[in-house]
Structure 1
Amino acid sequence: MRDLDKMIDEALDSETREVLRRIGDEPGFFARVFGIFGGRTGWVNILLLVVQGVAFLAGAWAAWHFFQAADPVTQLRWGLPAAVLLILATILKMSLVPRMETNLVIRELKRIELQIAHRQG
């Protein structure tokens, strides 16, 4: 992949190359994570993260009671909600990952648009 990037870089003129360098390289992991909380849909991602945190804490609390229970009926009363809440927390957390990848694709598309605009202009 880096060879392809090198070939593309060599094909660009110096002005376009300078503009692309100012844009910067691919953002790191933490920049991508915190990037999902901005924009028009940032509040939805914040809400999902809060609900995920509450579900995880409630699931951990129910799991604690499950492991403290002595009889099977009490274990079922705490174990099933613990399992459901912990699975829900995992699903909600994983629903945020595609948004991070979408932001990367959009960033690359904007770089391509910029290159096309420089070629036409």
Structure 2
Amino acid sequence: LIGKLGEVYRGKLGWLAIIMNVVTVLMFMAFIYCMVQFFNTENTNEIVKWASAGFLSMISMGMLKLFVWMQMDKNDILRELKRLELQIATLSRIEK
């Protein structure tokens, strides 16, 4: 799993994966800040606002992580396709 994660950063979109991880860390810090504010306020309207902001930051973190997971899956699919191409090329040489 760690090897697959490393491949995401070495691919064509590796720079984008790094930026997305930085944004994920920023969203996590925003979530922590929202939760601290949520527990420190007594006004109901403020509670709703901080809870909504925290929920939005959690959704953002989930979407950013989904991108990385989808890149890992894409790399696995490409690897399997290359294996199939190699097997087909090998079989076509044997039959000739």
Fold match (TM-score > 0.5): yes
TM-score category of the 2 structures, normalised to the smaller one: 0.7 to 0.9
Match of 1:82 among 54, 73, 76: 54
Find the structure with the greater CA-based Rg.
1
Query: For 1:43-85, what per-residue CA distance to the aligned partner results, in whole angstroms no more than 9, with x for missing partners?
Result: 1111111111111111121111101211212212322211111
- The unaligned stretches of length 5 or more in structure 2 are none
Q: TM-score by structure 1 length? A: 0.69
For CA contacts below 8 A with separation 6 or more, give which structure has more relative contact order.
Answer: 2
1:60–1:86 Cα contact (<8 Å) kept: no
The amino acid that maps onto 2:54 is A
SS at match of 1:37: helix
Moved over 6 A (4+): none
The answer to whether 1:58 aligns with 2:37 is: no
User: 1:21: which partner in 2?
Assistant: none
- The unaligned stretches of length 5 or more in structure 1 are 1-28
The structure carrying a bigger helix percent of its residues is: 2
SS at match of 1:40: coil
Q: TM-score by structure 2 length? A: 0.85
Q: Between the two proteins, what is the percent identity of the paired residues?
A: 28
Distance in 2 between residues matched to 1:94 and 1:57, nearest whole Å: 19
Aligned-residue RMSD, C-alpha: 1.4
User: 1:117: which partner in 2?
Assistant: 89
Aligned residues: 93
Distance in 2 between residues matched to 1:120 and 1:80, nearest whole Å: 59
User: 2:5: which partner in 1?
Assistant: 33
